[in-house]
């Protein structure tokens, strides 16, 4: 299992040149969702450290797109306008057994849907 650490910026255009917000780094264990990979994890597949992924999402797509992965800044975004996201991979490293168990426990608590609160 791999742990991914990334930075995230949001803006109103896909290039996020005029990023409206950037957030602290985000870490998660890749591939531990109860339904397999999330669309976000698919977007990160085969990427390496330093790679960027640019996305354009409607607010109503965000919960399903990220699934169990907690992205607080994005979950907190409101409104009806699309949101441009730029994620840059900062590090990929082996996840410790403790991190895997903690993530599995968090995912198990979500059941069929995730509140994004863990």
Block means of pLDDT (10 residues each) for the chain, 118 residues, are 91 60 82 86 96 91 87 59 89 90 74 51
Q: Is residue 116 part of a domain?
A: no
Per-residue confidence (pLDDT) for residue 62, from 0 to 100:
87
pLDDT at 21: 65
* pLDDT for position 7: 93
- Helices marked H in the chain: 39-44, 62-66, 72-75, 97-110
CATH number at residue 24: 3.10.50.40
Q: What is the per-residue pLDDT for 118? A: 46
Other C-beta atoms closer than 10 Å to the C-beta of 60 total 9
For residue 118, is it within any domain?
no
Domain count, the chain: 1
Whether 115 is in a domain gets the answer no
**According to the model, what pLDDT value does residue 18 have?**
54
Q: Which domain holds residue 94?
A: 2-110
């Amino acid at each position: 299992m791999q742990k991914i650490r990334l930075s995230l910026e949001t803006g109103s255009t896909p290039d996020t040149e005029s990023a409206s917000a950037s957030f602290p780094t985000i870490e998660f264990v890749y591939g531990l969702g109860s339904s397999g990979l999330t669309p976000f994890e698919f977007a990160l597949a085969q990427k390496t450290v330093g790679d960027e992924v640019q996305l354009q999402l409607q607010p109503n797509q965000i919960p399903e797109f990220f699934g169990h992965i907690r992205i607080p800044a994005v979950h907190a975004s409101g409104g009806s306008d699309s949101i441009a996201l730029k994620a840059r991979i900062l590090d990929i490293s082996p996840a410790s057994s403790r991190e895997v168990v903690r993530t599995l426990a968090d995912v198990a608590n979500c059941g069929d849907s995730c509140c994004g609160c863990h």
